[in-house]
Chains A and B, each alone.
Chain A
Amino acid sequence: MRCDAHNDLQSELHCRIERNAVLSALPPAMSALKTSTSASGSDPPIGGHQETGPSGKAILAVIDSLKKQVASDRSIYIKKRMEENTEKVLDVTKNLYKLSMERRNFKIICGDGGVDLLAKRQKDAIDMHSGIGTSNGDNESSSSQEDGYAPSAILLGSSIAVKNAVRPIKLPEVKKLPPYTTWIFLDRNQRMTEDQSVVGRRRIYYDQNGGEALICSDSEEETVDDEEEKKDFVEYEDYILRTTIKEVGLSDLTLDLLAQCLSRKSCEIKGRYEDLIKNDNAMCRVNNGNAEGFVNPYIDKDLDAALDSFDNLFCRRCLVFDCRLHGCSQDLVFSAEKQVPWSSADVEKEPCGPNCHRLVPDSEGNASVSSKQTNFEEKAATASNTSAMQIQKKKQGGKSVKIKSKSCQSESASSSEIKPNDATSSVKSASAGKSGGDKRSSKRIAENVLVAKKKRQKKMATSDSDSVAGSGLSLKDLTLRTNSRRENEDIKSTSSRKSRRKESLVLDFDKSLQGEADSGASNESESNQPMAGTGDTLKKEECVDENMYKQEVIDNKYWKPFEKALYEKGIQIFGRNSCLIARNLMSGLKSCSEIFIYMHRSEKKILSRDGDGTILADGCLKADGNEIVGGGARRRSRFLRRKGRVRRLKYTWKSAGYQSFRKRISERKDQPCRQYSPCGCQSACGKTCPCLVNGTCCEKYCGCPKSCKNRFRGCHCAKSQCRSRQCPCFAADRECDPDVCRNCWISCGDGTLGVPSQRGDNYECRNMKLLLKQQQRVLLGRSDVSGWGAFLKNSVGKHEYLGEYTGELISHREADKRGKIYDRENSSFLFNLNDQFVLDAYRKGDKLKFANHSPDPNCYAKVIMVAGDHRVGIFAKERISAGEELFYDYRYEPDRAPAWAKKPEASGAKREDGAPSNGRAKKHT
C-alpha cells in the first residue's frame, strides 16, 4: 500500500514538475545547483519528496540548458564539417574540370585522323540552329544528306518543322545469359556466419511480374526488430548524463528526469551511469598503473594465453586456423588416451648439438642426484648452515623480523596472510595462497620473492649442495612432512595452472617461518604444521626443504614462466628427452643441457615427493600429477586413464561396432541423419554420452578411448575395395577413413615420394573420393532444358563419384525463411543435409548446384559421412558420356514440390534425403 502510494505520489509529482518546468522561466543556474545538491544529498525516501519540488525544476533546467548546449554544439559541428567538405569538393571538382578540359585537346594530340562523329553532329546541330536563327526558317532540310554520314541532327523545339529523322543505329543482338545470382565458389561446405542470417531481418521482395513489393516477415520477426531498437547511449547522452549528475548530484529524481528528457527508462539511465563511473575508475586505474612503472610485456605473456588463442582459432578436425566449417571456439575435446611420449631409439645416442647435455661432462644435475645418498649425515650441517644464514638474513634487513613478529599471530591456517616479502613490503595482504583466482597478484608476489631470493642467494652458496630431500627420515617426520605437504597440495590445487609458481611461493612461506623457529621464536607460528614444536628433526627437515626450494628458485629466476610452460608441454609431447624438447620447442630459448639440468631438478622434487607418497598414496598421486601435468583437468584425466587402461577390447567388424551401427541405420530409416559432434567422454561412453544420446557413432574426434563401444569401427575390406555394401563403411553411407579402417589406403602421386606401407592386399580403397577430392571436371553451360546446366567433361562409368554439392550450412529455421524467398523466385538451392543443417548453395557453392532436376536422371545424390561431417556427393547413376548434361532427382517431398518438379526443368534442390540411401540399399541387397 505504502509503496503504491509512493509511486502515485511520485508520478503526480513528475507531472507537476514537468508543468512547472514548462511554465516557469529558468531559475538562475547557481541557485538551482545549490538546492538540488542539498536535496539529493539527503536522498529522501518518501517524505522528502515535498522539498524536492523546486530541485526537480532546477534539475530540469540544468538538463534543458545542457540539451540546448548540445544542440548548438551539434549545429556548429555540422556547419564546420559542411564547410570543410565544401572546400574539399571544390578542390575535387577543380581537378575534374581540368581533366575534362584536357580531354578536349586529347583527340588533337592523338590525331589519328578519324572523324569524331559526335563532334560533327554537334557542329551540324549548332550550324543548323544558328542557320535558323539567322535565316529564320526558310532553309528546310538544309543540313540533310549532304555529308556522307546520313542525316545529321534533328532540332526539336525550334520553330521549323522537322522532316527528316535521325536514322537509328542498330545494336546487334547479344544473347543474354540465363539469370543467376552472383555466387562464390566453395570447395568445401561452410557454416553460415551470423551476419548472413535472414532470420529476424526484414526483407522486401520485389515481384517483377506483379510490380509490387512484398515484405517478407512475420510477427515473430517483428519482435526481434523491436529488440534491436534498443539503442546504445551516444556520446552526447553520456555527456548530459554525466554533467547533470555532477552538477546536481545523484538521486532517483535526477535519474527519472534524465530518463524523461532522454526518453529512456530510468533504470537504463542508472545502469549507464554506473557503467560510466566504472569506466572512469578503470581509466584512472590504468593511468595509475602506467604511472607505477614500466611493465615488461613479456612477463605477462605466458603459454596458457597463447595456447588459449590457439585453441580458439585452430580447428583440430580440419587442422586449419579459422575453420569455416566448424568455426572458432569449438569445445575442446581431450582424448582420453594420451599419446605415449614419442621415443625414437636413434635419437638417444647422438648428441643433438653443441649444447647437448651429453656433451656436458658432469652436469650439476647428475652431481646432485649422486649426492642424494649422503644427506643424512649432512643434516646437522645443513641445519647449522641454515640457521647461520637466517642470522645473516636477520642482520641484513629488519623488515623480515617485523614480518615474522606479525606472523606469530596467525594461526594454523595457510600462511597466506603473512606474505614474507622481505624485499618489497608493498604487497601486504593479497590473498594469493587462498584465492586461486587471483593469479596476477600471486604471480607478482612470486616474482618479488624471486628478486629477494636472488639477492640473498649470493650469500649462501654453501646451501647448494644440501638440496636433497632426505630418504632416511624418521617415521614421525615423514608423517609430518606428508601432512604439511598435503596442505601445500591443497593450497596448490586451488590455483589452476600456475601451481608450480605458487608452490614456490608457499614454500617460501615455509622458509621464513622456519627462520623464525630457528631464531628462537615460538613454534606455534608455523602455520603449516598442526603439530607444533616437534623438535629439531622437524626443523632440519624443513631446512632441507627450504634449501631445496631455494635451488628451485634459482632455476625459476632464469626460466621465464612461459619457458617453463613450454618445457612442460615438451615433457608431455616428447617425454623426458631434453634433446627433442630443445630442438622442437625451445630452440633459441634454452639449450639442451639447460633443459636437462632443469629436468633433473624437477625430477628430484618428484622423487622426494614420491618418498612421501609411499606413506600416503593419495598425496603422492596428487603431487605426481601436479608436477607433471599441472592442470586440474588434466590431472583428472591422467588419473582416470590409469583406471581405464585395464583392458583393450578385441573386436572384429562383425562385432560391436557393426552391430550397433546397423541398428542405427534402421533407426534412421525415416528420418534424416544426425549431425555428429564429438563427445568429451573420458572413459568408455556410457548412457550419458552426448553421441549416444544423439544417436550418432563416436568418431575419432571424440574424447573417449578407442575401445568405446559406440565407436564406428571402420572396415577390414581388401579386395572389394569398399565399393559395395559388403563394406560396413559403404553400407553406413560413410567414406572410409585410413585412421580408422584397417586396410584402406591409397597411393598418392606417381610414387616418387614413396609408396605408403600397404595394408592388406594391393587394393586401394575406392571409398575415399570426397575426402581426397577425386572428382570429375564439371562444366557450366546453358542447359538444354532450362537456365543453366551442369555438364560432364569426360565420360564416366556407373556409380562413379562426380563431385560434391557444396554450400552454406544453415539451420532448418534459417532454411525455412530463405526458402520462402527462393520459392518466389522459383529457384531454390536448398539441400537437406541432416537433422541440424540444410545446405544452401544460393550464394556460395559449386557448379553442381546448376545440375537440373529430372525424374529420370543420370545421377543421384547421397549424403555421406566424411571424417565426421555430412557431405553431399553426386554420383553417376549410369554410364555418362563426355559432354552430357547432368540431372538428378531432387526428390522434393510430394506435397512441397513445385509444379515443374515432375517434368525435367529448371534448377532447384532436393528437399528430402534418406531416400537415396534407401533406394540404394534395395538395389544392392
Chain B
Amino acid sequence: MAKIALGCEPVVGSLTPSKKREYRVTNRLQEGKRPIYAVVFNFIDSRYFNAFATAGGNRVTVYQCLEGGVIAVLQSYIDEDKDESFYTVSWACNIDGTPFLVAGGLNGIIRVIDTGSEKIYKSFVGHGDSINEIRTQPLKPSLVVSASKDESVRLWNIHTGICILIFAGAGGHRNEVLSVDFHPSDIYRIASCGMDNTVKIWSMKEFWTYVEKSFTWTDLPSKFPTKYVQFPIFIASVHTNYVDCNRWIGDFMLSKSVDNELVLWEPKMKEQSPGEGTVDILQKYPVPECDIWFIKFSCDFHYKAAAIGNREGKIYVWEVQSNPPVLIARLSHVQSKSPIRLTALSFDGSTILCCCEDGTIWRWDVVASS
C-alpha cells in the first residue's frame, strides 16, 4: 500500500474494545456441511425486520429471530441443480409490496423468489458467470443490481424481469466484480468493486429513462433495449488487492480489501472531468486476521455500527461514524473457528448474525447493560 502523504493521514481506530455493548452467543445453527456465504436481515419492510435469509450451497433459507435467542425456520428453497452454490441473497419487494428474495451464485442465474407465495417468481439468465453480490435499491426495492464474475454489474427490474443496464465496457471492471451497493439517497448512483483492486462509482442519471421504461415494459423482457454504461464517473484505487466489499455510508464509502482493515474514504470527484478525482481516506478500522477474500461486512439500519468477521471466527463491531472510530465489541467464542463470510446486524444492532465457512450460523445478542 502506498505511503500516505502528509496531511492526508486517516484516523485509525484503536483495537481496545470500548465495552459500550456486550454481546453473548444465544444460538448456533448448523445448516449443512456447505459454506454459507450470505446472511441478511430484511430492512425493506418493517413487518419483516426480524426476518433474515441465508444463502449457501443450493439452498436459500428464511429465518426469524425470536426473543430469547430463538431462531425459527420459516421457509427453505432448494435449487434442483445440486451444483448450484448461492453466494448472495438480498431482500427486495415487488411494486405491490410482496416480499421477494433475490439470490444468485455460481451458476450466474438470478433467482427471484416470492416469499409471499413461496414460489419462484422469475429467473434471470444473462450473466456470463457466477454472481458475487446482489443488492436492492432501498428507495425502489424492485430494482436490484448484481455483481458478477463476468466483469459486469447489471441493473434489473425484478417486477418486469428486465435487464435494464449493464455497467461494463471500456471503463468497466477488469476482473471479477465482487461487491456492489446502491447509494442510500442518490438513486442514480452505485458503487462497485472487485478483483481489479478498484472501486468504481457509476451514475445512471443519463440512462434513467430506461429505468422508468422498464416499469411499463409489456413486451418480452429480451426485447428491452438494454444499455451499456461503459464509463464510471469515478475510479478509486484505495486498495492494492481484491476489494471484496464496499458500502456507502452517506456520501462516504466504507470498503475493505484483504489488508486487515476497513477503510472509510470520501470520493472527491471533479465535476468537469468524469472518471477523475481524488480519494480522501478519512478513517481506518483495523480488523485482525482478516486477510482472505470474500469476507464481507454489514451495517445496521442506521449505519451506526459495522460488523465484520475474520478468518478465525471472531467478529469486530465498529462504531462507523464516530471520530475517532470506536470498537464497540470484539466477539469470540471457543467453538467459532471457521472463517466468517458475512455478518448481519439487526435493525438496531442488538442482534448480530454471522454465517461461516463450516455451514454454521451464529446468533449474538446484546447483553442488557447492568
Give A residues with C-beta under 8 Å from B. Answer: 67, 70-71, 73-75, 78-79, 81-83, 85-86, 88-93, 95-97, 99-101, 103-104, 106-107, 110, 112, 114-119, 121-122, 125-126, 128-129, 149, 152-158, 166-174, 176-177, 179-182, 184, 193, 195-196, 198, 203-204, 206, 213, 229, 231, 234-237, 239-240, 262-263, 843-844
Main secondary structure of the interface of B (DSSP, over half): loop
Chain B 136-166 residues near chain A, CB threshold 8 A = 138-139, 141, 148, 150-152, 166
B282 contacts A118, CB within 8 Å? Answer: no
Q: Which of A168, A177, A193 contacts B77 (CB 8 A)?
A: A168
Evaluate whether A110 and B97 lie within 8 angstroms (CB atoms) in the complex, with A89-B250, A117-B117, A182-B172 already known: yes
13 residue pairs A–B, Cβ–Cβ below 8 Å: A88-B250, A107-B96, A118-B99, A153-B64, A158-B68, A169-B78, A176-B107, A179-B129, A180-B129, A181-B129, A181-B150, A239-B7, A843-B172
In the complex, residue of chain A having the shortest beta-carbon distance to the beta carbon of B126: A177
- Of the listed stretches B14-22, B108-116, B327-335, chain A binds B108-116
Whole-angstrom distance from the CB of A517 to the nearest CB of chain B?
Answer: 58
Taken residue by residue from 220 to 244, chain B's Cβ proximity to chain A (1 for < 8 Å, 0 otherwise) reads as 0000000010100000000001100
A129 contacts B67, CB within 8 Å? Answer: yes
> Is B259 at the interface (CB under 8 A from chain A)?
no
Chain B 157-199 residues near chain A, CB threshold 8 A = 166, 168-172, 174-176, 184-185, 195-197
Whole-angstrom distance from the CB of B250 to the nearest CB of chain A?
Answer: 4
A106 contacts B250, CB within 8 Å? Answer: no
B250 contacts A85, CB within 8 Å? Answer: yes
A177 contacts B128, CB within 8 Å? Answer: yes
Whole-angstrom distance from the CB of A607 to the nearest CB of chain B?
Answer: 52
Q: A182-B128, A204-B175 are in contact. List 17 more A-B contacts (CB 8 A).
A: A78-B11, A78-B282, A78-B323, A83-B323, A85-B252, A89-B250, A91-B185, A96-B139, A100-B49, A107-B97, A116-B99, A121-B62, A168-B77, A181-B151, A204-B242, A263-B3, A843-B172
Whole-angstrom distance from the CB of B275 to the nearest CB of chain A?
Answer: 9
- Cα A118 to Cα B119 in complex, Å, equals 11
- Cα A25 to Cα B141 in complex, Å, equals 62
- Cα A253 to Cα B361 in complex, Å, equals 63
B119 contacts A169, CB within 8 Å? Answer: yes
Residues in chain B near residue A203, CB distance under 8 A? 174-175, 196
Whole-angstrom distance from the CB of B11 to the nearest CB of chain A?
Answer: 6
B43 contacts A100, CB within 8 Å? Answer: yes
A234 contacts B120, CB within 8 Å? Answer: no
Residues in chain B near residue A122, CB distance under 8 A? 47-48, 50-51, 64, 74
- Cα A204 to Cα B293 in complex, Å, equals 12
Whole-angstrom distance from the CB of A555 to the nearest CB of chain B?
Answer: 41
- Cα A623 to Cα B138 in complex, Å, equals 74
Residues in chain A near residue B368, CB distance under 8 A? none
- Cα A75 to Cα B7 in complex, Å, equals 9
A100 contacts B250, CB within 8 Å? Answer: no
B120 contacts A114, CB within 8 Å? Answer: no
Residues in chain B near residue A196, CB distance under 8 A? 170
Residues in chain B near residue A85, CB distance under 8 A? 249-252, 321
Give B residues with C-beta under 8 Å from A. Answer: 2-3, 5-11, 26-29, 43-51, 59, 62, 64, 66-81, 93, 96-99, 107-109, 111, 113, 115-120, 123, 125-129, 138-139, 141, 148, 150-152, 166, 168-172, 174-176, 184-185, 195-197, 228, 230, 241-242, 249-252, 266, 282-283, 293, 301-303, 321-323, 363
- Cα A196 to Cα B66 in complex, Å, equals 52
Whole-angstrom distance from the CB of A60 to the nearest CB of chain B?
Answer: 15
Q: Which of B6, B8, B27, B46 contacts A100 (CB 8 A)?
A: B46
- Cα A91 to Cα B302 in complex, Å, equals 10
Whole-angstrom distance from the CB of A757 to the nearest CB of chain B?
Answer: 41
Q: Which of B6, B11, B108 contacts A177 (CB 8 A)?
A: B108
Whole-angstrom distance from the CB of B128 to the nearest CB of chain A?
Answer: 4
A176 contacts B72, CB within 8 Å? Answer: no
Evaluate whether A106 and B6 lie within 8 angstroms (CB atoms) in the complex, with A122-B64, A184-B230 already known: no
In the A-B complex, list the 9 residue pairs whose CB atoms are closest, starting with the nearest.
A236-B7, A106-B97, A125-B72, A180-B128, A182-B152, A157-B27, A121-B74, A173-B80, A89-B250
In the complex, residue of chain A having the shortest beta-carbon distance to the beta carbon of B230: A184
Residues in chain B near residue A88, CB distance under 8 A? 185, 250-251
A234 contacts B8, CB within 8 Å? Answer: yes
Residues in chain A near residue B242, CB distance under 8 A? 204, 213
B72 contacts A156, CB within 8 Å? Answer: yes
Evaluate whether A116 and B230 lie within 8 angstroms (CB atoms) in the complex, with A121-B74, A196-B170 already known: no
Residues in chain A near residue B76, CB distance under 8 A? 166-169
A153 contacts B73, CB within 8 Å? Answer: yes
Residues in chain B near residue A116, CB distance under 8 A? 98-99, 116
A67 contacts B44, CB within 8 Å? Answer: no
Whole-angstrom distance from the CB of B369 to the nearest CB of chain A?
Answer: 23
A171 contacts B78, CB within 8 Å? Answer: yes
Residue among A110, A204, A843 facing the most chain B CB atoms (10 A cut-off) = A204
Q: Which of A166, A176, A177, A235 contacts B75 (CB 8 A)?
A: A166
Whole-angstrom distance from the CB of A576 to the nearest CB of chain B?
Answer: 45
Whole-angstrom distance from the CB of B52 to the nearest CB of chain A?
Answer: 12
Evaluate whether A157 and B116 lie within 8 angstroms (CB atoms) in the complex, with A118-B75, A122-B74, A182-B150 already known: no
Whole-angstrom distance from the CB of A850 to the nearest CB of chain B?
Answer: 12
- Cα A95 to Cα B302 in complex, Å, equals 11
Residues in chain B near residue A236, CB distance under 8 A? 5-8
- Cα A107 to Cα B94 in complex, Å, equals 11
A103 contacts B46, CB within 8 Å? Answer: yes
A169 contacts B77, CB within 8 Å? Answer: yes
Whole-angstrom distance from the CB of A325 to the nearest CB of chain B?
Answer: 14
Residues in chain A near residue B321, CB distance under 8 A? 82, 85-86, 89
- Cα A100 to Cα B91 in complex, Å, equals 12
A101 contacts B5, CB within 8 Å? Answer: no
Residues in chain A near residue B66, CB distance under 8 A? 125-126, 129, 155, 158
In the complex, residue of chain B having the shortest beta-carbon distance to the beta carbon of A74: B7
- Cα A125 to Cα B168 in complex, Å, equals 44
Residues in chain B near residue A181, CB distance under 8 A? 128-129, 150-151
- Cα A239 to Cα B7 in complex, Å, equals 10
B5 contacts A237, CB within 8 Å? Answer: yes
Whole-angstrom distance from the CB of A832 to the nearest CB of chain B?
Answer: 23
B176 contacts A158, CB within 8 Å? Answer: no
Residue among A70, A174, A213 facing the most chain B CB atoms (10 A cut-off) = A174
- Cα A172 to Cα B77 in complex, Å, equals 10
A67 contacts B251, CB within 8 Å? Answer: no
Evaluate whether A82 and B301 lie within 8 angstroms (CB atoms) in the complex, with A103-B45, A157-B69 already known: no
- Cα A182 to Cα B75 in complex, Å, equals 34
- Cα A71 to Cα B250 in complex, Å, equals 25
Q: Which of A81, A93, A180 contacts B302 (CB 8 A)?
A: A93
- Cα A56 to Cα B170 in complex, Å, equals 53
B72 contacts A128, CB within 8 Å? Answer: yes
B113 contacts A171, CB within 8 Å? Answer: yes
Residues in chain B near residue A149, CB distance under 8 A? 118
A229 contacts B301, CB within 8 Å? Answer: no
Q: Which of B72, B99, B111 contacts A153 (CB 8 A)?
A: B72
Whole-angstrom distance from the CB of A75 to the nearest CB of chain B?
Answer: 7
In the complex, residue of chain A having the shortest beta-carbon distance to the beta carbon of B129: A179
- Cα A171 to Cα B61 in complex, Å, equals 12
B116 contacts A114, CB within 8 Å? Answer: yes
Residues in chain A near residue B138, CB distance under 8 A? 96, 99
Q: Which of A101, A107, A173 contacts B79 (CB 8 A)?
A: A173
B249 contacts A89, CB within 8 Å? Answer: yes
Residues in chain B near residue A155, CB distance under 8 A? 66, 70-72
Evaluate whether A78 and B45 lie within 8 angstroms (CB atoms) in the complex, with A89-B303, A168-B77, A173-B81 already known: no
Whole-angstrom distance from the CB of B130 to the nearest CB of chain A?
Answer: 9
Q: Which of B7, B99, B111, B125 contacts A237 (CB 8 A)?
A: B7
Whole-angstrom distance from the CB of A342 to the nearest CB of chain B?
Answer: 40
Residues in chain A near residue B170, CB distance under 8 A? 184, 193, 196, 844
B228 contacts A103, CB within 8 Å? Answer: no
- Cα A115 to Cα B115 in complex, Å, equals 11
- Cα A79 to Cα B282 in complex, Å, equals 9
